[in-house]
Structure 1
Amino acid sequence: MTDTASQTDEVLFDRIGSAAVIRLNRPKALNSLNLAMVRLMKPALDRFAQDDTVSMVILTGEGERGLCAGGDIRVIHQLGKAGDPDVTRFWREEFPINHRIAHYPKPYVALMDGIVMGGGVGVASHGRHRIVTERTRLAMPETGIGYVPDVGATWLLPRAPGETGTWLGLTGETVGPADAIHSRLADICVPSERLPDLVHALGAMEPGAADADVRAVLDRFAVAPGESRLGGEQDLIDRCFGFDTVEEIVAALERETAEFARTTREALARRSPTSLKLTLRLLRLGRDSSSLVECLEREFTVAEEILKHHDFYEGVRAAIIDKDRDPKWSPARLEDVGQEDLDRYLAVGHPALFAEHRL
């Protein structure tokens, strides 16, 4: 079958053989998601699921720098500052896409080449076939902007080995392909230069291909991802991040002499104290949750409340707008964020996102 493509602004939809390809198309913005893109993706996913000539969906990003750097938080920052009542609309429509991908009826293949952060993890790591390359740089960096891991990350991260997900969620640090696989946010590594050949091999499959058949093709292209740094530090991570308060985690890290513990402490010291405590609470609740829906609902509740407070606006200012990398958090110390302060973030005050999945 001849390759065809149709352009719809910030998302491209291709057919390569039997494979439907979704290409995120904002390369100058590292393919950051906005509301228009989410609104294009949803009907496309529905259409491909119903099309008997489509064997699978492949997600990729245009440009050379990455699949997706997350949601367009600059817009959310602007709407929130202006008091726009529709500021949460992006999350209301994005989160159901994450759920749709997690339960997609056909093989869903995400090519996680380059930068994959925040919302990029949401549209990739919920899929059944997650491909990283030697260029993959993955992170959930939200605690650094006064926010929390969302897009179902509080379902995914607690299911990483040991306390790896707690380390990823709290520190917001960037990891490479081996660590992405170790953390169960990706499956196999394929050299970036071989991705075009991989896509054409997948497109050559017959409609109705099973996931096992797709994986067999992927395995033909797979290479060893190298050694996982987080895997090598697993004992230390588990020893320090198994506590249920951030203060205990920091104290445990201070007792360690390894360089990894020192750099981890330094990373935590740069994050919003409120975000750190909220994130740990969400990760522990996510560990005991029964479904992705439960986590997405809880994340949305917290996100809605975060927009009423200082740290998100200050974090985005420092990281994205002024780029001085010097946020002034309020409260500035962990000990000044009490449990009662956190409770208000978890008080539901909005209609359910998933009315058909009542908890």
Structure 2
Amino acid sequence: MDNSNQSEVIVERRGTAGIIRLNRPKALNSLTIPMVRAITAALDEFAADQTVASIVVMGEGERGFCAGGDIRAIHLSGRAGDGLAETFWREEFRLNHRIATYPKPYVALMDGITMGGGVGLSSHGRHRIVTERTRLAMPETGIGYFPDIGATWLLPRTPGESGTWMALTGLDINAADAIHTGLADFYMPSSRLEEAVQRLTNLPGGSSSDDVDAVLRELSEQPGEGRLQANAAMIDRAFHFNRVEDIASALGAEEGEFAAETRRVMLTRSPTSLKLALRLLRAGRQSRTLGECLARELGACMHVLLGPDFYEGVRAAVIDKDRNPKWSPPAIALVNDEMIGRFFEPAKPPLSL
């Protein structure tokens, strides 16, 4: 299989490795419906090919692996009511589940910006590599949205309340914290990625995940300590509450610049998104499967399109770029349980996995 022209996804074989390259570098490889379909088709074909030992997913360009879904396109679709946003989410979530249950070693090179949908393409996989350039985040509350792509399964299973910190602040973490949170496995300098890929292409057919781990471990290094790990005790104290108001109050009582920055940033996010994200995370913590979380997220996606904050958030972030969204309601105290409950209405039809 080889479609190595200028398509948005380049699929090729190198030795025994199936290679999938996201090819929208000017857009930080943000995902479109055709890209999701191309990745899904490639994974299906590689799974059926007994000569393919492993799959490697990477992003073109030096700035990012994948910055997430194309939120401008989703914004336009929501405004037009043409159904493309729903189609994107349904197919993206099915792809996330496919990656999580993929039968062959799946290697993601999380080099550079890895956000939103990029986390979905990587952190659900079995072998996740980060570098000195990795900046991983779930920044959705800053655009009036919420962490999706199965993040409500992944983030509640990070150590302590680190996932809650990530979801509510939307701030990025480095390679060390990506490994600390369990969203990545190995750190290696970006200069060694090509060597890693080359070694994987030489693995014999039928190689196991342990064989892939052995290759990656040999090339990996210790990443040091990240700020989440360094501030873990404070994060756990402040973020264990089930109400955003209580988290904000607890942060206000903490000393130090990290707590102050955390509170300041969190309170710039959409109040509705903060309350929705926290409730989804707590529901995800009680869920038995990734599929349950993805189905719940899809229902919330449908309701997001009916409210004002997503459109306002995208306007402020990527259309007008004034970075000054006017949220509605404008304050956490004005968002009540009934408002958030509407986001938990199941999607119709339900998500099929």
Is the TM-score greater than 0.5?
Answer: yes
What SS is found at the alignment partner of 1:7? coil
Equivalent pair of 1:142/1:172 in contact (CA under 8 Å): yes
What CA distance in whole angstroms lies between the structure 2 residues aligned with 1:101 and 1:78? 28
Match of 1:183 among 181, 185, 198: 181
Give the secondary-structure state (helix, strand or coil) at the position aligned to 1:60. Answer: strand
Q: Which amino acid aligns with 1:181?
A: I
CA drift of 1:349 comes to 4.2
What corresponds to 2:260 in structure 1?
262
User: Which SS does the other structure have where 2:5 is aligned?
Assistant: strand
The structural deviation recorded for 1:41 is 1.1
Give yes or no for contact 2:143–2:314 (8 Å, CA) kept in 1: yes
2:274 aligned residue: 276
Residues 199-348 of structure 1: matches in 2 within 5 Å? Answer: 199-348=197-346
Shift of residue 85, structure 1, vs aligned partner: 3.3
Render the CA deviation track for 1:300-326: whole Å, top value 9, x for unaligned.
Answer: 100110000000000000001111100
* TM-score (structure 1 length as normaliser): 0.97
Q: Which residue identity does 1:85 align to in structure 2?
A: G
Please say if residues 9 and 23 of structure 2, whose CA atoms lie closer than 8 Å, have aligned partners that are also in contact: yes
Change (3 A) 1:308 1:215: same
Query: Counterpart in 2 of 1:195?
Result: 193
Q: Tell me what 2:25 maps to.
A: 27
Q: Deviations over 1:238-282 (max 9, x none)?
A: 000000000000000011111111000011111000000000000
Deviations 1:142-191 (A, max 9, x none): 00000000000000000000000000011000111001111111011011
Is the deviation greater in 11-20 or in 81-90? 81-90
**Letter matched to residue 75 of structure 2:** H
The question of whether the paired residues in 1 share the 8 Å contact of 2:176 and 2:224 is answered with yes
Deviation at 1:83, TM superposition (A): 2.2
Relative to structure 1, is the Cα distance of residues 349 and 198 closer, same or farther in structure 2, using a 3 angstrom cutoff? closer
Across the aligned residues of Structure 1 and Structure 2, the Cα RMSD in angstroms comes to: 1.2
Match of 2:168 in 1: 170
Per mean C-alpha deviation after superposition, the further-off stretch among 277-286 and 3-12 is 3-12
Q: Distance in 2 between matches of 1:263 and 1:332?
A: 20
For the structure 1 residues 228 and 349, does the alpha-carbon distance in structure 2 shift closer, same or farther, using more than 3 Å as the test?
closer
Shift of 1:87: 2.9
How far residue 230 of structure 1 moved from its aligned partner, in angstroms, is 0.6
* Distance in 2 separating the partners of 1:43 and 1:8: 18
TM-score for the superposition, normalised by structure 2:
0.98
Match of 2:85 among 87, 103, 120: 87
The gaps in structure 1 that reach 5 residues or longer are none
Deviation sequence 1:274-297 (CA, Å, 0-9, x none):
000000000000000000000000
Partner SS for 1:271: coil
Q: Determine if contact 1:4/1:16 at 8 Å carries over to the other structure.
A: no
Task: Specify every segment of 5 or more residues in structure 2 that has no aligned partner in the other structure, as ranges.
Answer: none
Post-superposition offset of 1:120 = 0.1
Matched, 1:37 2:28: no
Match of 1:353 in 2: 351
Whether 1:128 aligns to 2:116 is no
Report the counterpart of residue 137 of structure 2 in structure 1: 139
Distance across 1 between alignment mates of 2:69 and 2:154: 18
The one-letter amino acid paired with 1:109 is: V
Aligned-pair CA distance for 1:5: 6.3
SS of 1:173's equivalent in the other structure is coil
Q: How far does residue 82 in structure 1 lie from its aligned partner after superposition? A: 1.7
8 Å Cα contact 1:5/1:15 also seen in 2: no
Distance in 2 separating the partners of 1:222 and 1:136: 15
The AA in structure 2 aligned to 1:167 is: W
Mapped contact 2:251–2:260 kept (Cα < 8 A): yes
Contact 2:295 2:347 (8 Å CA) reproduced: no
Between the two proteins, the alignment pairs up a number of residues equal to: 353
* C-alpha deviation, 1:4, in angstroms: 6.9
Whether contact under 8 Å (1:38, 1:93) holds in the other structure is yes
Contact kept, 8 Å, 2:168 with 2:274, in 1: the verdict is yes
Percent identity for Structure 1 against Structure 2? 59
SS in 1 for 2:350: coil
Choose from 64, 72, 75 the match for 2:73.
75
CA distance in 2, matches of 1:295, 1:228: 28
Deviation at 1:203, TM superposition (A): 0.7
